[in-house]
Amino acid sequence: MRRVLWSVLLALLAGVGLGLAYSWVLSPLRVTNSEPIALRGDFKDQYRSSIAAAYAATGNLPRAQARLALLGDTDPIEALNAQAQRMLASGQSFEQADKVVALAVALGENLNGDAPIPTSTFVVVKNDERTFTATPLPTSPDTSVLLTETPQAIETQPIISESTPRPTQTSIPTLGAPFTLTGQDTICDSNLPDGLLQVVVLNSNRRQLAGVGIVIAWDGGEEQFFTGLKPEIGNGYADFIMTPDTTYTVKLGPGSDIASGLTVPTCQASGGESFFGGIKLTFQQP
Amino acid sequence: MKTGRSLWVFIILALAAGIGLGLAYGWFIDPVDFFDLTPDTLRADYKADYVLMTAEAYRLEQDPGLAARRLAIFGTQSPSAIAANGLTYARANGFADSDIALIQELVTALQAWSGIQ
């Protein structure tokens, strides 16, 4: 009797194993109704890029926010800035990257309350049912964006107002506009790497600009790098390690000021010993 | 002999029950979590919204080639067919007239651009 029970139990377990192997590995459910959050990273980039292009055309920030929310980025602004970097680094057009940055800037300004809150209503509703029920989707840019799946709402983000004027286009910094060198400081901090060249790029509102290309040249060499690759320090921050006894020239876009004659400074520590310091350049749009 | 046959019947029944349990668990209770998906798996309303995004951008850019490249992420159809599907969905699901007009404009442009009439 005991042997029978064991045999049946083993058969049951073997059956469960076979069933799981089939349903998880051999023939998992075919995905047909996925959400943007499940897209592969490069497709998410394209999705963001399209959102930014649509925003550039309509100026409808609530709609752009609702669409970005679908991608599930923990920090949409950082995600947009990082994507702009990737776009520039991969040689995509500056215009498209500029739109992505512009959307990040608009979101940031909206967060900081610098821009008027668009007076629209949008609701993103999710639920745990996988079956799609057809619903009216995005509505007029003048009124709202409504993305709904089913009635059971677990997440809503309403911005409610009485009137629904079309949001005005948020001012967008033109990355190609010339920059002025507003600061050139010698940094003597023994905690920083020797010869660290720090570049901070600001727009006319003193907001840091990501995705600005910086060309550093020296006798026999030249290198290009971009702001925003270290968002933990600042969206408009970039750095470069200079070699002692080499003179560098730093320039941004055409027409911008050029910082020339840059060499690694020698600093004195409190104990009297010397060490190599760094330089901090600040560029700003007038 | 009869006991042995009964044992096999029990084993086969248990195996079948186990397979059923495994399938039910793997397909319905805890199905595979999918990620890194391609856009062609998106639900119809998200696809339609993506078409609308492309149409909004097209209104400003007036570049059917760029719009076609944006829609090409769906892969399996021509850009004009993808846009036409979006238009059909928009009309059937109460999109605003202004949005439908934008998508219509995109469809027309893509049909002319690709030569598909």
Mutate to test the interface with A, among B46, B63, B76 (most CBs of A within 10 A): B46
> For chain A, which ranges sit under pLDDT 70?
112-176, 229-232
CB atoms within 10 A of CB A55: 27
**C-beta atoms of B11 and A7 within 8 A:** yes
| 72-101 of B, contacting A, C-beta below 8 A | 73, 89-90, 92-99
- Nearest chain A CA: its distance from B116 CA (Å): 24
What is the model's pLDDT at position B87? 95
Cα(A186)–Cα(A281) distance, rounded to whole angstroms? 9
Q: Residues B1-26: what's their mean pLDDT?
A: 85
Q: Which of B12, B19, B60 sits opposite A56 (nearest CB)?
A: B60
What is the model's pLDDT at position A164? 38
Which stretches of A157-242 are assigned E, i.e. beta strand? 180-187, 196-202, 213-218, 221-226, 237-241
**Domain extent listing, chain B:** 1-33, 39-114
Residues of chain A in contact with residue B92, where contact means CB-CB under 8 angstroms, are 134
**Domain extent listing, chain A:** 36-147, 180-284
Average per-residue pLDDT for chain A? 76
User: Does residue B64 register a pLDDT over 80?
Assistant: yes
Pair A252, A176: CB distance under 8 Å: no
**C-beta atoms of A14 and B18 within 8 A:** yes
Fold for the domain defined by A180-284: Immunoglobulin-like (2.60.40)
What is the model's pLDDT at position B17? 93
What is the model's pLDDT at position A116? 43
Enumerate residues 6+ apart whose C-beta is below 8 A from B43: A32, A33, A34, A35, A132
Report ipTM (2 d.p.).
0.78
C-alpha neighbours within 13 Å on the C-beta side of residue A11: 17
Cα(A117)–Cα(A160) distance, rounded to whole angstroms? 10
For residue range A119-145, list pLDDT tens digits in order: 333 333 333 333 333 333 444 444 344
The pTM of this model reads 0.52
Average per-residue pLDDT for chain B? 87
**C-beta atoms of A57 and B59 within 8 A:** yes
Q: Which of B17, B37, B90 sits opposite A38 (nearest CB)?
A: B37
Residues of chain A in contact with residue B34, where contact means CB-CB under 8 angstroms, are 28, 31, 34, 38
**Nearest residue in chain A measured CA to CA from B90:** A137
Cα(A19)–Cα(A12) distance, rounded to whole angstroms? 10
For residue range A246-266, list pLDDT tens digits in order: 999 998 877 888 998 999 999
